[in-house]
Amino acid sequence: MKYPLTITVNEEVYELEVPANRTLLDVIREECGLTGTKQGCGNGECGACTVLLDGEPVNACLVLALQANGKRVVTVEGLSEGEKLHPIQEVFIAHGAIQCGFCTPGMVLSTKALLDKNPHPQELEIREALTGNLCRCTGYQKIVEAILSLKA
Partner 1 sequence: MDKYHVVGHSLPQIDGRERASGAAEFVSDMKLPGMLYGRILRSPHPHARIRHIDTSKARRLPGVKAVVTVQDTPQIPFGPRTDDWMIMALDKVRFVGDEVAGVAAVDEDTAEEALSLIQVEYEPLPAVFDPLEAMKPGAPLIHDKERNIVSEFKLAKGDVEKAFQESDVVHSDRYYTNQVYQAYLEPMACVVQPDLAGKLTFFISTQIPSMTRLPYAKALGLPLEKVRVVVPYYGGAFGAKMETNLHLVAAVLAQKTRKPVRMVNPREEDFMAGNPRVPMYIDLKIGAKKGGTLMGKEVRVIGAAGGRVVYSMVIVATACYRPDSLYHFQNLKTEGVTVYTNTVPTSCFRGFGNAQMTFAIESSLDMIAEAIGMDPAELRIKNGLKTGEVSIHGWKIGSSGLAECVRKAVEASGWQEKRGQKRFARGIGLACCNHVSGNRAFAREFDGGAGIVRISREGKVLVYHGESDMGQGQKTIFAQIVAEELGISLDQIEVAPVDTDISPFGMGSFATRGTVFGGNGVKAAAADAKRQILELAAEMLEANPKDLEIKEGKIFVQGSPEKSLPFQKVAELGLYKRGGAPIVGTGFWVPDTVIPDPVTKFGNISPAYPFACQICEAEVDTETGQVNLLNYVAAHDVGRAINPQTTEGQIQGGVAQGIGWALTENMVTEKGKVLNPNFRDYVIPGPLDLPPIKPILVEPGEPNGPFGAKGIGEPALNPAPAAVANAIYNAIGVRFTELPITPEKILKGLKEKK
**Candidate residues 3, 67, 94, 122; the one interacting with partner 1 per rule CB under 8 A:** 94
125 touching partner 1, by CB under 8 A: no
DSSP string of 64-93, one letter each residue? BGGGGTT-EEE-GGGTSBTTBPPHHHHHHH
Binding residue count for partner 1, defined by CB under 8 A:
53
Nearer to partner 1, 70 or 118 (CB): 118
* Secondary structure (3-state) at 25: helix
Alpha-carbon distance 53 to 74, whole Å?
Answer: 7
Sheet holding 72-74, edge to edge: 12-19, 2-9, 72-74, 50-53, 56-59
9 touching partner 1, by CB under 8 A: no
14 touching partner 1, by CB under 8 A: no
42 touching partner 1, by CB under 8 A: yes
Residues binding partner 1 (CB under 8 A): 29, 34-43, 45-46, 48, 75-77, 79-80, 85, 89-90, 92-96, 98-105, 108, 126-128, 130-131, 133-144
